[in-house]
Structure 1
Amino acid sequence: MATPKKKDSAPPTMRYFAAVLRILREHAGLTQEQLGELMHYTGAAVSAVETCAKPPTDDFIEAAEKALDAGGLLRSAITFLRLERYPVHFQGFVQLEQEALSVSSYCPQLIDGLLQTTQYAREVLRCAFPPFDEEEVDLLVAARMDRKALLDRKPAAVVNVILEEAALRRLIGGPEVMGQQYAYLLECAARPNVVIQAMPMSRAGHAGLLGPMKLIDTPDETPLVYLEGQGKSILVSKADEVGVLSRRYAMIRSQALGPEESVSFIEQLRSEL
């Protein structure tokens, strides 16, 4: 995870960044306190990063880059350090997701991470067991928000999300948090590259009852399917298995409410709060 307490348990990029930061600092003839002063951080904050007690934030990296005139060496680590904020089982998929031509998901329990607000994501992560501490929650929320870059990327990725009514009705964080989440879903649904559909409970039997799935089309147009549950994941790449899951997803889409009906459904839920 993103907040190891011992250097030997830290992720590789975090350890490498810590080593490079220390080398550059010592080469500049600076103590941790002096570097911290130049960065507008404490010496303790610099020490925490160099010992891998805490991962560096994007702001910390930018401040160190400028203070040490690192020529892009420290800044270049941001992308890789962001990746290490995610749970290990999810890291490989995140890379594929960010490069995908299209992402299609079916979500029976929660709003898709790509479409979550900051507060909704925070409340979901606070429900984890074993629980995360608040620092871990902050890092994981930031990582989840980083994924939204996919929505604004050029060329834009096509995003299709099917949400079960149960996921839409579950009041994560209470009415205020869900009110903001509904508003954000409606905002996302107005994007030309995003389609949101709702699966009503009145559809008692449908093709999605076996569980969640996420389909992606890679830049070389190779279809893949990602399955996740209980902290475990499977990336399906065999053509015949992907074919079955893709056809199943197409059936789920056909059984859900259409995009316009789904927007009206979300608006209704928002009005009921």
Structure 2
Amino acid sequence: MPGPKDLDPSSSPRAMIGAELRHARENAGLSQAELGEPLFVSGSFIGQLEAGTRRLHLEYAVQIDEILGTNGFFERNCQALAKSKYPDHFAEAAEAEAIATAIRHYLPLLIPGLLQTPAYAAALFRSYRPTVPDAEIEELVATRMERARLLDDPTTPLLWVVLDEAALRRPVGGAAAMAEALRHVADLAHRHRAIVQVLTFDAGAHAAMGGSLKLMEFADAPPLCFVEGLDMGKLLDDPATVARNALTFNLLQAAALSPQDSLALIESVTQDYEHGKQHR
């Protein structure tokens, strides 16, 4: 009987390798928990691999080939999957984001990547990498804009963003770039493609003073939470941790302006940028 065919990494690679993993596991007569036991991971983790919400790392791929007798199939394809256009600390989160049914995101200082315009993103990347060639900045911006195309679907994923007022007031790229960026955010809200709330300075202390958080939900897998810092990030699946971060986001929603009032503030700040009336 022929073995499984090596996967094409350009065509939904994680979903494909997840389907192959489920097929091989079931052929071996193992449950998700039974496969996870020798890997020292939970059955739900195996389920996330099979659903494509988690990336299969090489150390697991090698062991899975041994357990399931798949003749190096998962090791070979894992190496192909490791080639990502995203930084190592963000690659797995970006891949999960692409298949999420719902995304809830809070950033304390920036407009989130999915809502950014090219000029805003370029200003950010240039500030992070002041000495790299322009071509590298252009490539980074193109990758970010490609990632944002998941919003081209009129309904999926549900995107709910809480913007800190600091993200509105900091003139990333200058007044013209900020006016364009905020118009884009307002347009997404007007088109009901994103729910946007603003957490104003007047809210005072809040539940996420320590940093950012992103919650992702999926059709066939448990939710995940992504937390990040400077050149670092971690995808979390522990149910208690995800629940705690979900509560944090709920508290942010409660403390923020309503979507209607938030849109009015965003449009007011946009006009300020357009007319040179930035508030300090």
Which TM-score applies when normalising by structure 1? 0.68
Distance of aligned partners of 1:221 and 1:257 in 2 relative to their CA distance in 1, 3 Å threshold: farther
**CA displacement 1:64-103 (0-9 Å, x = unmatched):** xxxxxxxxxxxxxxxx89x732212111111100100001
Aligned-partner Cα distance in 1 for 2:257–2:143: 31
Aligned length in residues: 195
Displacement of 1:134 = 1.6
State percent identity of aligned pairs. Answer: 32
Aligned-partner Cα distance in 1 for 2:259–2:214: 19
Counterpart residue number, 1:104 = 104
Aligned-partner Cα distance in 1 for 2:122–2:84: 18
Aligned-partner Cα distance in 2 for 1:185–1:154: 15
- Aligned alpha-carbon RMSD (Å): 2.0
Give the 5 Å matches for 1:81-96.
84-96=84-96
Distance of aligned partners of 1:154 and 1:111 in 2 relative to their CA distance in 1, 3 Å threshold: closer
Q: Tell whether the 8 Å contact from 2:92 to 2:235 is kept in structure 1 after alignment.
A: no
Aligned-partner Cα distance in 2 for 1:183–1:153: 20
Alignment partner of 1:220: what SS?
A: coil
Counterpart residue number, 1:246 = 246
Aligned-partner Cα distance in 2 for 1:106–1:271: 24
Q: Tell whether the 8 Å contact from 2:197 to 2:258 is kept in structure 1 after alignment.
A: yes
Runs of at least 4 residues off by over 6 Å: none
Give the 5 Å matches for 1:28-67.
none
Aligned-partner Cα distance in 2 for 1:269–1:184: 13
Displacement of 1:155 = 5.4
Displacement of 1:220 = 1.3
Displacement of 1:268 = 1.0
**CA displacement 1:199-252 (0-9 Å, x = unmatched):** 101111111212100010022151110011110111110001111111111111
Counterpart residue number, 1:216 = 216
Q: Tell whether the 8 Å contact from 1:85 to 1:143 is kept in structure 2 after alignment.
A: yes
Counterpart residue number, 1:151 = 151
Aligned-partner Cα distance in 1 for 2:205–2:132: 36
Alignment partner of 1:272: what SS?
A: helix
Structure 1: gaps spanning 5 or more residues: 1-12, 15-79
Aligned-partner Cα distance in 1 for 2:237–2:136: 32
Counterpart residue number, 2:206 = 206
- Please tell me the residue identity of whatever aligns with 2:125: L
Give the 5 Å matches for 1:253-272.
253-272=253-272
